Amino acid sequence: MTMPTRLAGKIKQLKTLLVDADDFSVIMNYFLDDLVPDPAFQAKGKPLKDKTIEQRFRGVLEILHERLAIRSPGPAQMMAALWLKDFELAHGAFALGNRLGMAFYFRDLDMGLSALGALDGSMEVMFARFSVYDGVDPSKSFHIDRSKRRH
């Protein structure tokens, strides 16, 4: 059995945080501070070409736009989206009204996290952990809660 690479260990830690953490800023800070600057992480990222995942990101952004009542002359704009095939991880940046955001999503977990920061100089950041269950046979779908129980 081979030992995981340093990048693999970091991504495993991000998955654990995503499933277990109560403080979403801890998860996003780990992503931005520990993964994004890692040269191995940057080298693995390729432009996202998976239309299903792109639609998931857009769907989540539409829901955030609607639920947060963000005033915007148009829909959310994806600025960049990358895919790390080996880890089934998509991540990207977007603009939503007067906010800039980051999001990442693990296809194998069907779970992700987005963060929206205001451009008005305030320190307000809105977080949303999300799962998207469309296209899944309801008899096979499941949810993992913080106690790691499947149901």
pLDDT (tens digit per residue) in 106-115? 999 989 998 8
Residue in the structure block whose two tokens are 């194998």: 108
Question: Of the candidates 3, 29, 4, which has an alpha carbon nearest to the alpha carbon of residue 18?
Answer: 29
pLDDT (tens digit per residue) in 20-40? 998 999 999 999 999 999 999
Distances (CA, A) of 19 to 15, 68, 126, 128: 6, 23, 18, 13
For residue 82, which amino acid is it?
A: L
Structure confidence at residue 16 as a pLDDT band (50, 70, 90): very high
* Tokens encoding 5: 């690479």
Please say whether the beta carbons of 126 and 27 come within 8 A: no
